[in-house]
Structure 1
Amino acid sequence: MAERTSYTCVLSPDKVAQLKRDLAARGFVFRDVPYAHFGAEHRGEKVSLAAYESGKLVVQGKGTTDFVQFYLEPQLLGEARLGYEHVLNPEMLEARIGVDESGKGDFFGPLVVAGVYVNEAAAGQLMELGVKDSKQISSDKRIFEIAKELRQVDGLLASIVPIGPVAYNRLHAKLRNVNSILGWGHARVIENLLSRVDCKKAISDQFGNKRIVLKALMERGRKIELVQRHRAESDLAVAAASILAREEFVSRLSRLSKEFGVNLPKGASEAVIAAGRELVRKHGAEKLGEVAKLHFRTTQQVLEANPG
């Protein structure tokens, strides 16, 4: 089994109390973490962790595997889970398509929808790689590294549908709804993958009425079981799709920055507004729709300082 650098489980209140006592005895250094009972770190063991008020325990660091296998499971949990996730949850290895998107909340850049098909062998490899939702990975460099690894996984197929700002604004003007655009994009990647492989199930995050996607699916796609769930990124196939979508989004945003000579930040912050105003000063307001999603309130904030 490959070394893991992260691990998540849920603890009962009595287990949280026992964990804190045990960590103190092992020489862990405690710290405050927002929304957590406590955080703790042991540099010698190369492990840091946070025990959240929700009951979730998150373990990270190069020493994660040893910490889980030699302390957490045998002494605290009383059962072996690491490496046996597929036994505890057989659905983890079933063939399926996972769908996710990137750029939905970003003023600049495209909306990118990605779909990933995995068979049993590919799902097993994703488990070994410790694939997780792209939003839990702060480094773009790491996103690109993991995306490269994903493309080398046997049995994994991917489809990526980038919707650039010009096309996005045209679609939004027609559909008047972001969820409708998402539904169209999700349907397209599912259809693209079904043209290459037979699959009975597709999983995505619950962003709106499931009928939006079903309506956009063509004849081939209407035979598939479509599952929408909150926090679908916890599914391996969806997590892989989120990484490939983020990679494509970051790549295209970087190219737009170079093309227009303005650093275009992610998100919709004050830095984004400042970049928008710089772009309008350099190229004119008519160019904003080539780099940004115009229905965002950010558009008005950008143009207020650049009338005409």
Structure 2
Amino acid sequence: MMPVSLSISLTELEKLRNAILETGLKRTNPKSEYELLRIEDRDISIIVYKSGKVVHNDTDASRRVIDKILERERDYDLLLGSDEVGKGEWYGPLVVVCAAITPPDILRLRKIGVKDSKLLARAQIERLASEIIGKGTIYRDVTLMPETYNKMYAEFQREQKSLNDMMAWSHATAINSTLAYVSPG
């Protein structure tokens, strides 16, 4: 039986740890300094690492525990998130993307390895992007090529606005475009 791993953010780590402890499953002592929590109870084996990596055995019981804990956003039909990459000034475009996912997508994305892109190699990012887009994830982007970026930034400065204001505008535009797509009219 192959172990399954997924990653969570460090901010979610303590919540996950507490949620696992609340299940009442039998804990065992960590086997290394990198482990935060180790559960071994009947056919359930879960190891939570301080790095945010979670490894569990691929049994129905383990999957049920992990799925129940990580699908806490069920109350929402859609969850939106946006992020940017690039600076735009000289080297390439500024790209801001907003994606809309359903609560079940969260667990699927974690299982395929989605996490902070700063923690991923370029090849991993490209593989994940293909897989995410290939599964029909709804997203909209705002792409500002260097020339457009520089013109917009100059306009923002004339209006006594900062780069942060321009970034906020870019995120708001991507979010509004995504919302308009998922709920037209």
TM-score bracket, shorter-length normalisation = 0.5 to 0.7
Distance 1:120 1:165, change over 3 A: same
Per-residue CA distance 1:192-232 (angstroms, 9 max, x = gap): 22332129xxxxxxxxxxxxxxxxxxxx8xxxxxxxxxxxx
Match of 1:181 among 147, 166, 169: 166
1:111: Cα distance to partner?
A: 1.3
Q: How does 1:242-253 map to 2 (within 5 A)?
A: none
2:92 aligned with 1:84, yes or no?
Answer: no
- Determine which structure has more spread, i.e. the larger CA radius of gyration: 1
TM-score when scaled to structure 2? 0.63
Per-residue CA distance 1:109-159 (angstroms, 9 max, x = gap): 22110010123443453244342121221x1111000000101224x2111
Per-residue CA distance 1:237-257 (angstroms, 9 max, x = gap): xxxxxxxxxxxxxxxxxxxxx
1:186: Cα distance to partner?
A: 1.3
Match of 2:178 among 172, 181, 193: 193
Is residue 95–residue 119 contact of structure 1 (8 Å, CA) maintained in 2? yes
Is residue 7–residue 111 contact of structure 2 (8 Å, CA) maintained in 1? no
TM-score when scaled to structure 1? 0.41
Counterparts of 1:104 and 1:84 in 2: how far apart (Å)? 39
Match of 1:150 among 117, 120, 132: 132
Q: Identify the structure with the greater strand proportion.
A: 2
Aligned to 2:146: 165
State percent identity of aligned pairs.
22
Counterparts of 2:154 and 2:85 in 1: how far apart (Å)? 20
Aligned to 2:57: 66
The two structures, once aligned, show a CA RMSD in angstroms of 3.9
Q: How does 1:31-110 map to 2 (within 5 A)?
A: 38-39=33-34, 57-58=50-51, 60=53, 64-66=55-57, 82-87=66-71, 89-91=72-74, 94-104=77-87, 108-110=91-93
Q: Identify the structure with the greater helix proportion.
A: 1
Aligned to 2:7: 6
Structure 2: stretches of 5+ with no match in the other structure: 22-26, 36-46
Structure 1: stretches of 5+ with no match in the other structure: 29-37, 41-47, 51-56, 74-79, 200-219, 221-308
Counterparts of 2:151 and 2:177 in 1: how far apart (Å)? 22
After TM superposition, where is structure 1 displaced by more than 6 Å over at least 4 residues in a row?
Answer: none
Counterparts of 1:22 and 1:196 in 2: how far apart (Å)? 47
Aligned length: 154
Is residue 122–residue 153 contact of structure 1 (8 Å, CA) maintained in 2? no
The secondary structure found in structure 2 opposite 1:115 is: strand
1:183: Cα distance to partner?
A: 1.9
Aligned to 2:43: none
